[in-house]
Structure 1
Amino acid sequence: MWLTSLTPRRLLLDTAKFAQLSPHLCRLDLAASPDVAKEYIVADYDIRKISIIACIALVVLRLSIGWQLLYEGLWKLDSQDSASAWTAEPYLKNSQGPLRDYFRSLSGDPNDLRDLDYDTVAARWTRWAEKFKQHYQLDDRQKRVLDEMVRGSKDFRVELEALPEGVELTGSVGKVVTFLPDEKRLIVDGQLHMTPSEKQALLKQVNFNEETDDADAIEDPVKKDFVKKVLYLYQRQASLSYLEKALASLKGDPAWAGSIDEKQKGTIDGKTLGKIQLYRNRLDRYEQK
């Protein structure tokens, strides 16, 4: 048998291992050159043969991998209609390498600065509220409740027959609380809100101490009704809307928004940086590295 008669399915082995091979091997003399001849052994062995169990295992493995990829893809598509839709935003924000800036820019806001801007947050909440109304076809009452949750109420009202004798709505209290005798309504401004000190100032005018006195024990019906309505209004208006909370945090809280001391304006102590500005400064230093 000559070299030209060999097929890829045959394996050439050195003659030194001939004694270790099984009897089904055959001897083959090949002329490597006109002067030198070497002896080889050809083993009739198919390297592509694998067991049935191995075949089944490979099929199961490939089906499992395919199912996993299919399931993850379908889940991501299905989640787009849910409240917590899947997004690649975290992956893009943490991109590294030469294309870092490009991939991070695909997220739109890689440093989450939009969450620290009140106008952007307010616009996002407003869009969400409008989409919510349209999607769930809310009635007028439900729309009003949703608007109060998101934007807050213009004012808070309660029916009151009359103010007790000697009660005057003046000073800072008069800016927040008003009484309409014709409509018999006690009104608290929804933008300013009543503070605890203003509530105490109102109750003090009728000699009522919230910590020690009981409203039900008041004998005068006019004073009793007034105290209960003031406590009710204060409790109702004490909860801020989502936009009011955002405004208080992003613009009203000195720890976040910073503060300016007019007395020391122009000096190094005249302005205190808040967490938002400190975060921006650190981002700038990091990007410059």
Structure 2
Amino acid sequence: MTDIRRYSFAAVVLLVVLRLGLGWQLLYEGLWKIDTLSTSYPWSSDGYLKSAQGPMRNVFRAMTGDPDDKNWLDEELVAQRWDQWKSRFAAHYGVDERQIGRLNALIDGPSAFASPLESLPAGVDFKAAKLDGTVSFDAKAKQLRVDGKKHLLATEKATLEEQVADKEGAEYDNYRKALNDVFTRASKLSYKERTRAHLMGNPDNSGNINGRISQLKLYSEMVERYEDKLSAAHITFEMDHLNRVWSDARAKGRELAGPIMAMDVELKEDAMDILSVDQLKRGPLPAPWTPIKIVDTLTIAGLAGLGILLIIGLFTRFAAFSAAFMVFGFYMAMPPLPGVPDAPGPEHSFIVNKNLIEVLALLALASVPSGQWFGMDNLLGRVFSGKSKSAAK
């Protein structure tokens, strides 16, 4: 056991207080992040890592799995993401066939939209309106049906209404009502169709306007331009220009990916409406183990676990060194080094910032046996010391 008399009383007290303070700060950070996990806006390191700068920028950004949110701009990847989520959702809540049908209708759309109709009145001719592949009448089911993948446009509905514009009677009134009902239902797009409409149906996004660059391609070029200029920027005005370029690129990315991310949230909220009370008692659907979830889990566990070890003084040197290593990672994600763009926020630092100071303080704690002075390390030392003496006898 280290002789405490080698240190002054003031040094011992201050180092123990420093250890407790740093331990509490780490623990509280971890607990706060845990508390947010049950809210609508759970904490994630995603934004922090995507904004990483400095010599390890690519390493930290790669931890997110999709540093530029381009996966949200790929229709096939979004569809695949939702199909995988649907499988996990169905398995977690044990949904029945009826609920699966409603879930499929939300994501992929129904095979057909239907409205009750006893009979098709005379004068209605879907083929003459060139809609025989879109609209049909099921005499057996007594339904007016619209193909789920083709929908029904307002102009097409108007064409069908014109066929019976001068007709009167209950039979025609029922037809008009059924046509209005099925048109309203067919106007609602599935989530996959809404994604396709946003990415490809918008001519400005897809580049379907002659002479105009696709907004999706423009975003990719903005990101590439920033990456190309980043290594060459050294002086202040170049950094300022780079910050504006990056800000514009991120704004364009949010403009394109934001609506699809919002659809993702909306889909999951709509899906909860199909569940019974008993199914809801199973709790929220666990998120899949994506790269960013692994990083977030390790960060939270590290903050809380190392904070506890520092507070109780157990394995103190190991805990202090490990915490220093972790916080140094935070520092390297946005280091205030020469030639590195400034980190967002009110803090202004050069080389040394709060994270680096915390690293140095933790390394100082790792160099002294503060857990032996006040903590569980002292108790463990006494236990093992007693066993050694007993064995020697």
Report the Cα offset of residue 69 of structure 1: 2.4
Q: How far apart in 2 are the matches of 1:78 and 1:222?
A: 60
Provide closer, same or farther for how the CA distance between residues 85 and 130 of structure 1 changes in structure 2, counting only shifts above 3 A. Answer: farther
Q: Which amino acid aligns with 1:281?
A: E
Q: How far apart in 2 are the matches of 1:226 and 1:81?
A: 49
Which residue of structure 2 aligns with residue 119 of structure 1? 76
Over aligned residue pairs, what C-alpha RMSD do you find? 3.0
Q: Which has the larger radius of gyration?
A: 1
1:134-153 alignment, distance < 5 Å: 134-153=91-110
- List per-residue Cα deviations over 1:9-67 (Å, max 9, x = no partner): 9xxxxxxxxxxxxxxxxxxxxxxxxxxxxxxxxxxxx99499xxxx79x95x8656534
Which residue of structure 2 aligns with residue 250 of structure 1? 199
Paired residue secondary structure (1:162):
coil
Whichever structure has more helix as a proportion of its residues is 2
CA contact (8 A) 2:75 2:199 kept: yes
Report the Cα offset of residue 207 of structure 1: 0.9
Q: Does 1:155 align with 2:155?
A: no
Which residue of structure 2 aligns with residue 191 of structure 1? 149
Q: Does 1:207 align with 2:154?
A: no
Q: Does 1:283 align with 2:283?
A: no
1:11-160 alignment, distance < 5 Å: 48=10, 66-77=23-34, 84-160=41-117
Q: How far apart in 2 are the matches of 1:83 and 1:49?
A: 45
Report the Cα offset of residue 71 of structure 1: 3.3
- List per-residue Cα deviations over 1:153-189 (Å, max 9, x = no partner): 1111223222121111024422311113344321101
Using the size of structure 1 for normalisation, the TM-score is: 0.68
Paired residue secondary structure (1:158):
strand
Greater mean alpha carbon deviation, residues 178-187 or residues 220-229: 178-187
CA contact (8 A) 1:172 1:198 kept: no
Q: Which amino acid aligns with 2:198?
A: S
Report the Cα offset of residue 260 of structure 1: 5.8
Report the Cα offset of residue 119 of structure 1: 0.5
CA contact (8 A) 2:115 2:144 kept: yes
Using the size of structure 2 for normalisation, the TM-score is: 0.51
Q: How far apart in 2 are the matches of 1:249 and 1:48?
A: 65
Q: 1:181 aligns with which of 132, 135, 139?
A: 139
Provide closer, same or farther for how the CA distance between residues 123 and 240 of structure 1 changes in structure 2, counting only shifts above 3 A. Answer: same
Q: How far apart in 2 are the matches of 1:175 and 1:71?
A: 62
Paired residue secondary structure (1:236):
helix
Q: 1:226 aligns with which of 169, 175, 192?
A: 175
Provide closer, same or farther for how the CA distance between residues 219 and 85 of structure 1 changes in structure 2, counting only shifts above 3 A. Answer: same
- List per-residue Cα deviations over 1:71-99 (Å, max 9, x = no partner): 33244356567765432121111111111
Which residue of structure 1 aligns with residue 297 of structure 2? none
Provide closer, same or farther for how the CA distance between residues 48 and 75 of structure 1 changes in structure 2, counting only shifts above 3 A. Answer: closer
Provide closer, same or farther for how the CA distance between residues 226 and 132 of structure 1 changes in structure 2, counting only shifts above 3 A. Answer: same
Q: Which one has more relative contact order, counting CA pairs under 8 Å at least 6 apart?
A: 2
Whichever structure has more strand as a proportion of its residues is 1
Provide closer, same or farther for how the CA distance between residues 260 and 49 of structure 1 changes in structure 2, counting only shifts above 3 A. Answer: closer
Paired residue secondary structure (1:174):
coil
Q: Give the percent of matched residue pairs that are identical in Structure 1 and Structure 2.
A: 38
- List per-residue Cα deviations over 1:122-173 (Å, max 9, x = no partner): 1111111221111112222222111111111111122322212111102442
Report the Cα offset of residue 255 of structure 1: 1.2
Q: How far apart in 2 are the matches of 1:138 and 1:226?
A: 36
